[in-house]
Chain A
Amino acid sequence: MTASLRVVAPGMHTSIQDLGRTGFQHLGVPVSGALDTEALRLANLLVGNAHGEAALEIMHLGPTLEVCSESVRIALAGGSGTIEVEGQAQPVPGFHSVRLQRGDRFRVTASGESATAYLAVEGGFDIAEVLSSRSTYARGGFGGHFGRALDAGDVLPLRRCQVETRPERMLTQGGLPRPERVRVILGPQDDYFTHSAIDALRESTYRVSRATDRMGMRLEGPALSHRDQFNIVSDGIAPGAIQVPGDAQPIILLADRQTTGGYPKIATVISCDLPALGRLRPGDEIRFETVTLEAAAEARREAKKRFARLCKTLTHVNTEWTPDEYLLHSENIIGGVVHATEVD
């Protein structure tokens, strides 16, 4: 018996992503992987998967899918999107697992405050690894589902034909915050920029451009002027590196970034602030704060603790869904996220 999810409508840009393709950058192969790795981990936690299992990364507008197996358990994490199951009065909120049956159709609504959300399936997708990862690298045309974003009519094979009935899981504090400021370490080519460019990076507000994709987040704001020229002899690119091409507008390099590049990098976002970048949408504002390596290490420890605390808010709930419970939970979840974005 085959088990799958059939894609009725693909959404805006839905792709299979895991924690990325490590170990091939020396061959020019980008890492790829989920933009918001925290949300990916939470989605997997809710359905009982290993934390780095491949899931659907949903950008902005979600897909509509049909269950083509005895039963499946799914969960959506990230943003404030919901799972609307056809014929059911109340949608299943994010950060809550749900068991669906053969023939059920569901729509994932827009993720609201977050650019990305992740839909995990208990047992995972039955998709082969390419170079040690199931992540889609669309530009290279490999990984995930035929190396591309989903299309209507695609059939995504699942590892499990059915899942047991058990109490569903939810996170009582599902919201993932956006930091007040994104912390960066200057360099490796901060000496290519004027003093006023460094000041501008520290003090200005930038806006996320529409021309943002999985490769890079383009920002609009005060020019980050080069001291002299804007070409360097190409060197390696870290995740979160902020490169500044000739137009003096910064680009933060994300999951599908090239492994090497020839523009100077004024600063690099610290590792624990990277998942939150995956939440920013076009038009959102972003501010930077420069920190030291020591401060980055401390922030990384703090972020790990915070995430562990968040995971501990996982609770079991009744399998049957009731409207009262929904209202209560959605209040908590949405309330938390709105509060976080209103800071600053």
Chain B
Amino acid sequence: MTVALVETRISEWRAAVLRGGAVADTDADELEGHLREQISDLEAVGLAGDEAFLVAVKRLGEVHQITAEFAREHGERLWKQLAMPRPDDGRLRSTVTMLAFAAVTAVLIQLARVLTAMPGASEAWFVRDVSLFVLPVLAAYFALVRRMPGRRALVLVAIVGVLALAVNLFPFADGAGTEILVAIHLPVALWFVVGAAYVGGDIRASARRMDFIRFTGEWAIYYALIALGGGVLVGLTIAVLTPIAPGAVEQVITWVLPSGAAGAVIVAAWLVEEKKSVIENLAPVLTAIFTPLFAVMLLGSAVVYGVVGSGQEFDRDLLFVFDLLLLVVLGLVVYGISARDGARGAGAMDAVRLVAVVAAIALDVLVLASMFERVGEFGFTANRVAALGLNLVLLVNLTVTAWLTARLLTGRGQAVRVERWQTGYLPVFAAWVAVVVLALPPIFGFA
């Protein structure tokens, strides 16, 4: 009789521990084992079953304290949780807030379009400044949602202000290469501002940085999905309505499209937060598919380049292609790391990752060597400096990543070291991007 009662109590207790998702099933096994051991020891000294249960539970501690402690240790598990249980009005408020911010950026984009049409403005200005009308809104959204302290928020406002002023006051020459560089790098610089807001200004904590890395990847996936759906919608709208009203449709689309693209930035960010477990399950699958494929591709390319030799005439843009390649590899690696279970040891996936990284490094070194010859031949231009700098930044990151992964595989290192390295390296990326946006244009005379 009492045995059955105690069993019920234990399973109730176990369910309470598991609620909230911070404690995994196996952890609950471990805790339950402890509880049962304590109960049988107490019974052995004469306590009745239910008394023993009460004492044992008390010794183990308040369930919410235990789960909070587990949550602190296993942040990545909470990440998996769909929106924490919260009242319905909370969900409504979150949706309304998101829609409001999406609307703000949608309107701002239209404002930018109007400004572009003004005399003195140009298409180039729109391309260069467009991110300033979108990403600061996203940063503001996170600053609000995370209840960021006012002083920290002001720092972010100041950073955005400096960036906006600088790129708009720079006297770029017509069709200047540095202006294109700024157009490419400014969104990245602003993305770091978004990151600072995303972590609520808590930029030093490695775990929070990792959260932001995860967020970035998942945001990209959501955005791509929304863009895909949006593309189908627009395509069908054009196909259906053009026969009736040829001119009007095009007009409407050119107005709707930019606003939709900008609003989707906020919506995607909100979706990442609201529906974490959806993509959380998808992202590891994607990296598991693409890491080996990229490893094969990189290995093949490295061999071909090694055999054919890198003395060929390289196209000027080739280094940018390799930067892009390294970025993708880094993305796969970081993503793979962020999705791996920290407690697990090295696995086959780590080996594949190592192959991909080493092949990418080898390939890049071959290209880099020939690029340096070219620079020696033709001197430095802003483009080459930007491309070489990014390449170097990525190369250092990947080399250390390879080293740490190799140590992990040989059992002499921990996965957490790879993670720390990546989170610790974020400021280097931010610094490099800031250099390209703020320093390169003046250095190269805004040409």
Q: Do A and B come from one complex?
A: no
Which chain A residues have a beta carbon within 8 Å of chain B's beta carbons? none
Which chain B residues have a beta carbon within 8 Å of chain A's beta carbons? none
